[in-house]
Structures are given as structure tokens and as C-alpha cells.
Amino acid sequence: MYDLIIVGGGPAALSCGMTARKRNLRCLVVAADAQTGWLYKAERLDNYPGMPKVSGKELLRVFRAQAQELGVEFMGGVARQIQPMGDSYMVLVGNDVLEARAVVLAMGAARPKLLPGEEELLGRGVSWCGTCDGMFYRGKRVAVLSAWHGGVEEALFLASLASHVDYYTMAPHTPPADERIELRGEKPLRLEAAEGRQIAVVTDGTTSDYDGVFVFRPAVAPDRMLPGLKLDGSFVEVDRAMRTSLPRVYACGDCAGQPLQVAKAVGEGNIAAISCAEDLAHA
């Protein structure tokens, strides 16, 4: 059991982890690949104090090394779901279920763009989680639509259950090389309900029906990840102590609102950790 799980691997998350360690909290940072974060793409930053002309990549490297040195633990992967469990939260990352007394959301402002039909069919043949829903498709035909290499592991897991797996690549990455998985070159355009409770994957030249369709991206919308979380527009609603609408859940950095800047992300990560330490001390 961790004191704190921090979702995200950018400056907000890393700053939060550093302060959490200074407050003696056992904390885990769960982060998708650094390359998927915004800071990694910044060629040169001129407004981060103390590090003029630094590249985003270098700044991330330094932040992460400092966090590691302070004892922050790291895990690669996408947090898909967070569920309250009385006094703690369960965090689902890939096939692992983790538990913490508190959670910090620091996953940046990038919003996954869904396929037409995807949201409406979610839970009715469309899933974002192989671990949660794979068992329902034992011996059946499924499609995996993946925008990153994280979908490869999920497809291999699904291939151990399903009778057939088609793999569609939605953004460049190396697809699985496994005889149980058929690689499809077409680009999915939308999902539709088909006859017999099947789901149709429609591309620009083909329509194929499946019992189940699994969609994997390196990000999940915050209110989908944690049902009941209040949003302010597309950002997570927070107060000045970075507390969200849910107990012992905090948000910081770009996901908590404008301005979308590194200095603000770092400051808010620091505040979130302090608020969390105070709340846990009184819990």
C-alpha cells in the first residue's frame, strides 16, 4: 500500500513526488512514456527559472533523476481506472492493481480524441481495458485498435483468450509479431453497432464485425478514469490547495487548468503534495 500514487510523468508529477518524499510519504509515479508528454516536445524553454535555454527533454531527465534520488518509485504504464475503496483508492495500471491512501492526477492537458461511436458503445462491446473485460471474449473474435505500443501487450493477452485478434494501428508504433494476431493495414474511421450485438470497425475501404473491440491510447480522460470527479470545462476542478471534488484526490499541472506552463506545473505539484501530507496526517 502506497501513501500516494501520482498519475503522470511530467513536471507536475515529478515535483509532487519530490515534495511527498520530503514529507516522508511512500509514493509511486505511474507514467506513460516520457515521449508522449508535452514537455518532451519542447525544443527550448526560456522561461523556466535557473535553467535558461534548456530543452524539454533535458529538463525532464534532470527532474526525474532528482525525484529518483529522493526515493520516488516509478512504474511505466497508463493508469486506466481509479476506484474508491473506503479509506483508499485502487489504481488499475495495465494488468496490475495498485492501492494507495491518496491519488494525485498530473496527466497533462492532452485529451484523447475518440472515434465516432466509441463513447456510445463503451461497455456494450467496446472496451479500453483488456484486463477488465478480456474474459468476456474467451473464444470470440476481437479487434484491437491501438495508438501506441502499449496496445501490443494487451493484444498478446487478448490472443491468449480470444479465437481471433485483428490489430489496427491508429498511430505509428511497432505492431505485435505473433501468428495468433492478424495485422490490419486500414485506418479505423468509426465504430458502429452491428447485427447480433456485434461491433463494426469501419475503415475507408472495409467494414469488419467483431464480438468485442478494444481501444488503447496513452491517455484517458480524467472523469472517465475516476467517475464522479468534477471538471471545470475540460480541466479537473481544484481549489487553491489542489484538492479536487473527491477526498484525498488532488490534481496539478496542465490537467488542473491554465496557464499551461512548466513553472506553474512544478508549483502546483509541490502544493498538492503538501495538502496530501496534511490530509493523511489527520486521516
Instruction: Kindly tell me which residue out of 4, 20, 78, 82 binds ligand FAD, with binding defined by CB under 6 A.
Output: 78
CA 191/CA 212 separation, integer angstroms: 11
**Cα torsion 21, 27, 32, 38: sign:** negative
Q: Does 222 bind ligand FAD (CB under 6 A)?
A: no
Q: Count residues contacting ligand FAD (CB under 6 A)?
A: 35
- Residue 42, CA atoms < 13 Å, CB-side half-sphere: 21
Q: Does 38 bind ligand FAD (CB under 6 A)?
A: yes
Instruction: Kindly tell me which residue out of 5, 28, 45, 201 binds ligand FAD, with binding defined by CB under 6 A.
Output: 45
Give least dist CB 48 to ligand FAD, A.
6
Q: Does 220 bind ligand FAD (CB under 6 A)?
A: yes
C-alpha cell at 19: 515534495
Query: Three-state SS for 156?
Result: helix
Q: What are phi and psi of 21, to 5 degrees?
A: -70, -40
Name which of 81, 123, 111 is nearest 219 in CA terms. 111
Which of 79/274 has CB closer to ligand FAD?
79
Instruction: Kindly tell me which residue out of 4, 20, 32, 246 binds ligand FAD, with binding defined by CB under 6 A.
Output: 32
Q: Does 72 bind ligand FAD (CB under 6 A)?
A: no
Q: Does 154 bind ligand FAD (CB under 6 A)?
A: no
CA 165/CA 57 separation, integer angstroms: 36
Q: Does 143 bind ligand FAD (CB under 6 A)?
A: no
Asked if residues 27 and 270 have their Cβ atoms less than 8 Å apart, the reply is no
Instruction: Kindly tell me which residue out of 3, 4, 5, 10 binds ligand FAD, with binding defined by CB under 6 A.
Output: 10
Instruction: Kindly tell me which residue out of 253, 270, 273, 276 binds ligand FAD, with binding defined by CB under 6 A.
Output: 253
C-alpha cell at 257: 487548468
Asked if residues 85 and 98 have their Cβ atoms less than 8 Å apart, the reply is no
Q: Does 254 bind ligand FAD (CB under 6 A)?
A: yes
Burial of 24 (0-12, 13-18, 19+ CB in 10 A): exposed
The neighbouring-strand residues paired with 30 are: 7, 75
Give the range of 105-113, 154-162, 163-171, 184-192 binding ligand FAD by CB under 6 A. 105-113
Q: Does 31 bind ligand FAD (CB under 6 A)?
A: yes
Binding positions for ligand FAD, rule: CB under 6 A: 7-13, 30-32, 34, 36-39, 41-42, 45, 47-48, 78-79, 106-108, 218-220, 253-254, 260-263, 265
